[in-house]
């Protein structure tokens, strides 16, 4: 009798030694049965994943996961596809983060349309490499068309301009990049080359390096100016480009998280006073800060850049796609005068991870990066690899290209309207609850807030009011110290709350630290919700706030005594005790109120 | 009566204004019917694409393609998914390059196993962002496990080492990158930071920039050493990192396309003589040059790097995966002593475009790049984004992870055996034909050759022989000039041949220019075949050579007179005429010989 084990071993042996078996893997099966069978299995797997009850992050601990993925060497023997799919289902899918879950409103990631999966199938099947026309034919044209569309959306040059340039391989309206970081890096690299070009007696920063460039042009350093809200990719770019992170000058923001224009001008003036020691390479405006979703005053920033001769880049990785809706255009006023703009497709274009775009107003700016090589991108070729930081690149552009057709501007308009409504709802629900303080004026779908029981909020306002109106400097200082201490405790409370929300795992928001709230210059820990998932609705948002209010209430007693001490040391009247009793009542109230 | 047009308009209107319709796109359909229906359509499309007779590149001209993709603005109205799929089929798929076609042996791209399409479906559906554990849970562990596997494959440290580090989030054995260029860039960036670290009174190159770093350490420049076969990404990295392309020092190669070690040592000595003006940041070995597939003497390069205190990087983007087969290990001797090694998954691991890996021998080297940010990768977090150049990153690591299981080392062994056999076959067929000259000793599946009718080959050998043996210096020079001229014409012939092969479009090889053939220092135009597609076999290779021989023969008469002049100006005997008649006969012979 042949045992099951023997059969399995035989099967394994067969795939082990057989090139014919392997070759078959490389051919799209003639009868699609096998493929469709796997496709069905996959769909079920994906379904299970999305419909599974329970946590957003799966309850497994990180040390437990370590033990699942602890194989230290590559397997020798081939495994059957269905076995590996089973393993993926059990080990990977089961413990993946449900980033598309409507209760997951914590990061710039959302549900994506299912047709994106179809697009990925096409991209993989065609397997074009965008670096070169010999490995990417129609796909090169798709990519250029897409870049043209977004260029027009931003810079809105003439129809004639686009007719002339959209498929002109001698120029490049922009690059499709791996992500926003590489998009920003591309822009900064172009800015750097523009700042220190080649000329008589100097081969250019590209050939000679930063050191020689500074020396040749008589500068001591090159700087990049961005607000304190600047994405960390800017610092990374300054490091990478050899300028040094110290030479990213962060200008403080106003209460709306926008670069303080007065301070920008002061900074520029002080740099000018250094008698040409500093070259301002770029000024960066942000169109949708990562932390707060606010948009810089791009018009003023652009003017400042032009006055100083700096490259004006707009990091619109988050918000740029909102230009698809005319109503948002005023928020971006001035973006059309930027030298370059970056946009992420995996953010508001709802594409899967990951794809960035960087567009250049001047179709010749990317010539600063132009490179050639004998075997891959010959001089005078029409290969897109001439202009990109990456070498081999996938045909990722198909996703936003198809999506802009399938959803259309009209569709994106509806999606952004929904995001806007969810943002407003969420802020309203938080305000209505009473135990949360909202801390930004949301522009592009991001709400910053913190848990802080209503009576404590009132107490803080009282302390603030008293501080502002007091004429006794010593007393003012004392009050400021108290406020500081209270906020420190509230910070700790919100860090703990965030961890508890993660443990609870039925809802998810993220957390950051801001210095631009009403408590500046103190850093305030805030919870951060990003409300772009079209599957999220008002009821879900209510549940999210209720959950967080409940968990906050449970944590509160632990912080109560400390807050009482901090808040009342100043209040010589000794009313602290009753205040804190009041806090407990307030939480109970808002719990029953069901926000 | 409702006309068809009215129905269509109604349908369009419906999708135009309906958020509910859009929302449905974001949900995996409860009944998978719709999805499977699209899946079927896609499979058919993919099938048609692979089975379609006719050209590899599609016969459409680039200007014609320009006219297909000439829409200059984003569509307003939503389109039906099936319409867009139809459009993709008609415009995109039909005009894509059949890179998986077994007659396409021109670039480092091949057919891929069809299960890769399944993997892309999973990756898109899960849509994890590897930047952060909050957006990527199990997938972070998969990526680390994969990095561990390849780290072990290269550096082969102890089992204990991998048990300790493979899932230790405090360290990083390597990064998964967008592609090989970013992998090499990551290695060069680490090398740069290591060369100019922070110390008392200096904040490090990262903070202070290249200029301050050189000044602080008393250097005038930092250089990267690589052979003339170095990939253009090295130049790109030197530019990007602010070192300057001029500071990539290219050491000439020997006849086997390996860095000339004597010349390396001479270069190092001459740099040392400059009295510490030059800091050697990195020495790079190549394990599989892009143009010729040869492997540097890694052992010697590693020793040189250690002696000079430089970072030793091995660019194994092409060849690294061959380590999966023990028989190839001797070719890579010394790689285990490298500081870093880069490998591309979309090359010899047969993954779709695009994914690179960079592995660091020292698990703490990536700490030189460590970055944090409040909202995304907090200090003390376990987020992978701390170490990467990119920010948002897809879960690309699933593809090689699954593939190393499904194919296994044993399977890859068979695939590489097949590639080896195809490489040998191709070289044999070329040699057997008589009208081709092979120009490298293939190590890793790449053959360089050129079309050159047999009698001309013989004539060249004759001229060479005569030049070597002649004692008359003037005569030697004269002969060299002739040789040079002949080669120039043969270069032109091969450029024309390559273009004609592209026009014919039934087979495809690439083309480059090398200075390391037997005709050095003259640059020789070579055709380049990359023989890794497991669907390519000996019969196909014969057809490829026959086709190219036929086309070459057709082009030959155009070059005949010029060659005769060049080759015979020296031959005072005037035998040129008959020689060239001989050429014609030889081509006719080898045509009938059917290689």
Nearest to B454 by CA among B436, B466, B430: B436
Res. A375: pLDDT tops 80:
no
Name residue A377's beta-bridge partners.
A373
Nearest to B128 among A99, A113, A232 (CB): A99
Res. A344: pLDDT tops 50:
yes
Nearest to A297 by CA among A324, A270, A337: A337
Write out pLDDT tens, residues B316-363. Answer: 999 999 999 999 999 999 999 999 999 999 999 999 999 999 999 999
ipTM: 0.94
Chain A residues within 8 A of B119 when measuring between CB atoms: 124
CB contact under 8 A, B405 and A95: no
- Work out the percent of chain A whose per-residue pLDDT is above 90: 81
State yes or no: cis peptide before A354, omega within 30 of 0. Answer: yes
From A49-63, A378-392, B35-49, B410-424, the region with the lowest mean pLDDT: B35-49
CB contact under 8 A, B79 and A36: no
Q: Which two tokens stand for residue B267?
A: 């270069």
Cα–Cα distance measured from residue A383 to residue A140, given in angstroms and rounded to the nearest whole number: 8
The pLDDT score that the predictor gives to residue B84 is: 96
Query: In angstroms, how far apart are the furthest CA atoms of chain B?
Result: 99
Of the residues B76, B125, B397, the best mutation for testing chain A's interface (the one with the most A CB atoms within 10 Å of its CB) is B125
Nearest to B210 among A203, A210, A390 (CB): A210
Write out pLDDT tens, residues A122-137. Answer: 999 999 999 999 999 9
Res. B591: pLDDT tops 60:
no
The pLDDT score that the predictor gives to residue B573 is: 41
| pLDDT averaged over every residue in chain B | 91
Nearest to B388 by CA among A230, A182, A390: A182
- State the pLDDT confidence band at B31, using cuts at 50, 70 and 90: low
Nearest to B207 among A181, A244, A390 (CB): A244
| H helix runs in A166-310, sequence order | 180-195, 205-217, 232-240, 261-273, 298-308
Burial class (CB in 10 A: 0-12, 13-18, 19+), B329: middle
CB contact under 8 A, A76 and B116: no
Other C-beta atoms closer than 10 Å to the C-beta of B159 total 10
Nearest to B128 by CA among A68, A86, A56: A56
From A190-194, A335-339, A448-452, B55-59, the region with the lowest mean pLDDT: B55-59
The pLDDT score that the predictor gives to residue A572 is: 44
Nearest to A269 by CA among A251, A296, A253: A251
- State the pLDDT confidence band at A206, using cuts at 50, 70 and 90: very high
Buried b (16+ CB within 10 A) or exposed e, A36-70: eebbebbbebbbebeeeeebbbbebeeeebbebbe
Return residues 275-334 of B near A (CB < 8 Å).
290-291, 324
pTM of the predicted protein model: 0.94
CB contact under 8 A, A242 and B242: yes
The pLDDT score that the predictor gives to residue A578 is: 47
More confident residue, A572 or B389: B389
The pLDDT score that the predictor gives to residue A565 is: 87
- State the pLDDT confidence band at B588, using cuts at 50, 70 and 90: low
State mean pLDDT over A424-447: 97
Of the residues A68, A92, A93, the best mutation for testing chain B's interface (the one with the most B CB atoms within 10 Å of its CB) is A92
Write out pLDDT tens, residues A436-492. Answer: 999 999 999 999 999 999 999 999 999 999 998 999 999 999 999 999 999 999 999
Res. A38: pLDDT tops 90:
no
Please give the C-alpha separations between residue B337 and each of B149, B156, B279, in angstroms, as whole numbers: 17, 10, 21
- Residue entry with tokens 């630290």: A513
Res. B568: pLDDT tops 70:
yes
Burial class (CB in 10 A: 0-12, 13-18, 19+), A539: exposed
CB contact under 8 A, A181 and B391: yes
The pLDDT score that the predictor gives to residue A372 is: 74
State mean pLDDT over B159-169: 97
Res. B1: pLDDT tops 50:
no
The pLDDT score that the predictor gives to residue B2 is: 46
| H helix runs in B3-114, sequence order | 4-17, 19-25, 33-51, 62-68, 81-87
Q: Which two tokens stand for residue A258?
A: 């926008």
Nearest to A141 among B15, B68, B169 (CB): B68
State mean pLDDT over A146-161: 98
Q: Kindly report the nearest CA distance between residue A317 and chain B, in angstroms.
A: 11
Cα–Cα distance measured from residue B10 to residue B3, given in angstroms and rounded to the nearest whole number: 11
Listed in sequence order, the residues at least 6 apart from A356 whose beta carbon sits closer than 8 Å to its beta carbon are A176, A177, A178, A179, A180, A181, A182, A183, A317, A342, A343, A344, A345
Cα–Cα distance measured from residue A318 to residue B119, given in angstroms and rounded to the nearest whole number: 28
- Residue entry with tokens 């459409």: B60
Write out pLDDT tens, residues A249-278. Answer: 999 999 999 999 999 999 999 999 988 899
The pLDDT score that the predictor gives to residue A44 is: 80
Res. A573: pLDDT tops 50:
no
Name residue A223's beta-bridge partners.
A280
The pLDDT score that the predictor gives to residue B39 is: 78
Nearest to B114 among A25, A71, A210 (CB): A25
Cα–Cα distance measured from residue B430 to residue B527, given in angstroms and rounded to the nearest whole number: 12
Q: Which two tokens stand for residue A197?
A: 């070009």
Chain A residues within 8 A of B242 when measuring between CB atoms: 205, 209-211, 241-243
Write out pLDDT tens, residues A281-303. Answer: 999 999 999 999 999 999 999 99
From B50-59, B424-433, B475-484, B494-503, the region with the lowest mean pLDDT: B50-59
């Amino acid at each position: 009798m042949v045992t099951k084990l023997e059969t399995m071993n035989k099967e394994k042996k067969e795939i082990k030694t057989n090139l014919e078996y392997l070759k078959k893997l490389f051919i799209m099966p003639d009868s699609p049965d096998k493929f469709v069978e796997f496709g069905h299995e996959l769909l079920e797997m994906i379904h299970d994943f999305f419909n599974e009850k329970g946590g957003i992050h799966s309850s497994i601990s990180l040390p437990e996961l370590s033990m699942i993925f602890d194989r230290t060497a590559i397997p020798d023997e081939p495994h059957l596809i269905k076995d590996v799919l089973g393993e993926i289902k059990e080990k990977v899918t089961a413990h993946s983060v449900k980033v598309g879950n409507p209760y997951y409103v914590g990061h710039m990631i959302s549900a994506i349309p299912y047709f994106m999966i179809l697009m990925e199938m096409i991209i993989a099947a065609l397997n074009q490499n965008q670096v070169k026309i010999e490995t990417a034919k129609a796909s090169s044209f798709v990519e250029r068309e897409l870049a043209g569309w977004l260029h027009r959306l931003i810079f809105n040059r003439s129809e004639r301009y686009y007719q002339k340039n959209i498929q002109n391989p001698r120029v490049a309206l922009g690059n499709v990049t791996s992500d926003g970081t590489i998009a920003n890096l591309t822009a900064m690299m172009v800015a750097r080359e523009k700042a220190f070009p080649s000329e008589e007696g100097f081969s250019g920063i590209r050939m000679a390096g930063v050191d020689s460039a500074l020396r040749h042009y008589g500068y001591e350093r090159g700087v990049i100016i961005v607000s304190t809200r600047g994405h960390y990719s800017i610092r990374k770019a300054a490091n990478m480009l050899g300028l040094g992170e110290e030479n990213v000058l962060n200008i403080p923001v106003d209460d709306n998280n926008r670069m303080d224009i007065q301070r920008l001008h002061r900074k520029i003036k002080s740099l000018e006073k250094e008698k040409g020691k500093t070259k301002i390479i770029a000024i960066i405006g942000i169109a949708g800060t990562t932390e707060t979703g606010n948009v810089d005053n791009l018009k003023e920033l652009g003017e400042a850049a032009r006055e100083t001769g700096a490259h004006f880049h707009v990091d619109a990785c988050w918000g740029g796609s909102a230009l698809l809706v005319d109503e948002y255009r005023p928020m971006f006023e001035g973006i059309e005068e930027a030298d370059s703009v970056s946009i992420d497709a995996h953010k508001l274009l709802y594409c899967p991870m990951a794809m960035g775009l960087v567009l250049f107003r001047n179709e010749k700016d990317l010539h600063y990066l132009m490179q050639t090589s004998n075997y891959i991108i010959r001089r005078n070729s029409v290969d897109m690899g001439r202009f990109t930081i990456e070498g081999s690149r996938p045909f990722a552009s198909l996703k936003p290209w198809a999506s802009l057709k399938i959803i259309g501007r009209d569709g994106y308009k509806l999606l952004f309207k929904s995001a806007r409504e969810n943002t407003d709802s969420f802020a309203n629900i938080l305000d209505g609850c009473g135990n949360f303080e909202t801390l930004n004026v949301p522009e592009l779908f991001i709400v910053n807030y913190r848990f802080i029981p209503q009576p404590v909020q009132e107490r803080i306002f009282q302390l603030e009011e008293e501080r502002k109106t007091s004429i006794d400097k010593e007393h003012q200082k004392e009050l400021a110290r108290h406020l500081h201490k209270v906020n420190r405790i509230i910070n700790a409370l919100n860090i703990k709350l965030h961890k508890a929300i993660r443990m609870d795992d039925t809802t998810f928001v993220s957390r950051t630290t801001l210095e631009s709230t009403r408590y500046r210059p103190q850093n305030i820990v805030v919870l951060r919700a990003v409300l772009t998932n079209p599957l999220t609705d008002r009821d879900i948002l209510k549940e999210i706030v209720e959950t967080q209010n409940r968990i906050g209430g449970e944590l509160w007693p632990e912080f109560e005594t400390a807050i009482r001490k901090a808040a009342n040391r100043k209040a010589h009247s000794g009313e602290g005790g009753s205040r804190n009793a009041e806090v407990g009542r307030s939480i109970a109230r808002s719990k029953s109120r069901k926000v």
